[in-house]
Amino acid sequence: MGEWPTPGSVGMIPLVSRRSGTLAGRCRVPGDKSISHRALMTAAIAIGRTTIEGLLEGEDVLRTADALSALGVGVRRHDDGRWSVDGVGVGGLVEPSTILDMGNSGTGARLMMGLVSTHAFNTHFTGDASLVKRPMARVARPLERMGASILARSGCRLPLAVMGTAEPVPIEYELPVASAQVKSAILYAALNAPGETIVIEPQATRDHSELMLKYFGATVASEPFGTGGRTVRLTGLAELQARDLRVPSDISSAAFPLVAAAITEGAHVTLEAVGTNPLRIGIVDTLREMGAAIRIENERRFGEEPVADIAVKGGALRAVDVPANRAPRMIDEYPVLAVAAACASGTSRFRGLGELRVKESDRLSAIADGLARCGVDVEVSGDDLMIEGTGRPPRGAATIATHLDHRIAMAFLVLGLVSQEPVAIDDGSPIQTSFPDFVPLMRALGAAIETRA
């Protein structure tokens, strides 16, 4: 068995996974990526020193830490694994003398664009070959309404420059797409604007920014809007006070061992201290509808965020029809849910997945192409994805292109654990963005995942 390269290794990392025995054990997946970005950013503009425990040390979050350092914030990792952030207060960031390279991270890029847009200086952003393809107009439009100017490459893609405004204005903005990143970019911009900024989301999205800002003392409130939406109000020129915090484990990372165990007969796996924010756990509801035996145990809170241990037992699954309005509660889990559907009996339908086309890769195509290569019948119709499961292990015997997408990489490695023949991926290096110890953690549960020569 080859050694798993340490984080920071360069170059492509081809990996292969093969049919494994049953999976068993307890494990703790790394910190939540969304919450980790917000923890660093909020601490950066609070007054005083914040200490963060359980921060995700994946590439994406490290880019946000570097960006904040370039903006004059003291960000440091300590030997015991904790991070400290010496905040500069709302409005206290300084112009960076370097281009902020946000790597693969859409969340890092979009939220940081919001944060700097109400500071009176210029900031240049770039990213990797995946991030420079992703749409930024969705963030640029509301930030321009608040007074910033944004000069981007054609199609409003990175690299781009944000010319921050000295006189920000609060806005009322209804989101045209269900996106927590867009909502959060506006909220982080609004912290340094006078008056009340209002964001209306026709479908509620993850509320980690609201909870984090509230934890640090901001005045932020939300109320229901229409069917399943929310209106969020934030009072600007906030004074945020540093507060120590713990980051829950990421449900979006937990989803990989969760599904791997759910599709493996006799498996029994417990995932500890996972964030169970109701706006994130659509995957648990969906797997339960498919017949998975999942128990939520030991419920508690880390700050404003709910946390629990999630125990799953493997067994037969049935097909499921997932409504479009559930997508925001499990938007990052479709790649691995598609793997569960490929192993279930019957035809599953996932509705309203248009947003998957603008993730780290075009995930709708990547899922459909990859499953077809593994011998699964799959169809994309408009924004819906149909997957025919036979209730038997898929054939496998394919090499999957991961397109710089960590979740495509991990999802197809999970598929290989139950396929008749191994499944290979061309490049596992993107896994470093969100789940650096994915391979050793899965191996400890009994998964046969190896590096390929």
CB of 148 to ligand S3P, least distance (A): 19
Closer residue to ligand S3P, CB minimum distance, 20 or 179: 179
Joined tokens for residue 125: 């952003």
Query: Rounded to an integer, what distance in angstroms lies between the CA atom of residue 100 and that of residue 159?
Result: 10
DSSP, res 29: P
Contacts of 306 (CB under 8 A, 6+ apart): 275, 276, 277, 278, 299, 300
179 belongs to the binding site for ligand S3P (CB under 6 A):
yes
CB of 280 to ligand S3P, least distance (A): 10
Query: Rounded to an integer, what distance in angstroms lies between the CA atom of residue 285 and that of residue 340?
Result: 13
CB of 361 to ligand S3P, least distance (A): 12
Q: Comparing C-alpha atoms, which of 315, 85, 93 is closest to residue 212?
A: 85
Site string for ligand S3P, 12-41 (x = CB under 6 A): ----------------------x-------
Q: Comparing C-alpha atoms, which of 286, 443, 319, 293 is closest to residue 389?
A: 319
Query: Rounded to an integer, what distance in angstroms lies between the CA atom of residue 83 and that of residue 152?
Result: 33
Closer residue to ligand S3P, CB minimum distance, 309 or 360: 360
* HSE-CB of 400 using CA atoms within 13 angstroms: 37
Closer residue to ligand S3P, CB minimum distance, 210 or 437: 210
Closer residue to ligand S3P, CB minimum distance, 250 or 450: 250
Angle, alpha carbons 240-241-243 (nearest 5°): 125
332 annotated active-site:
yes
Part of the chain binding ligand S3P (CB under 6 A), chosen from 149-157, 178-186, 192-200, 297-305: 178-186
CB of 106 to ligand S3P, least distance (A): 6
Member of 42, 50, 117, 181 binding ligand S3P (CB under 6 A): 181
Query: Rounded to an integer, what distance in angstroms lies between the CA atom of residue 36 and that of residue 303?
Result: 13
CB of 355 to ligand S3P, least distance (A): 6
Member of 36, 184, 286, 419 binding ligand S3P (CB under 6 A): 184
105 belongs to the binding site for ligand S3P (CB under 6 A):
no
Q: How far is CA 114 from the centre of its chain?
A: 18
Catalytic option among 250, 332, 405, 427: 332
Part of the chain binding ligand S3P (CB under 6 A), chosen from 41-49, 51-59, 117-125, 175-183: 175-183
Residues 355-384 that bind ligand S3P (CB under 6 A): 355
Residue 405 exposed, middle or buried by CB count within 10 Å (0-12, 13-18, 19+):
buried
Where in the sequence numbering do the catalytic residues fall? 332
The contact set with ligand S3P (CB under 6 A) reads 34, 107, 179-181, 184, 206, 331-332, 355
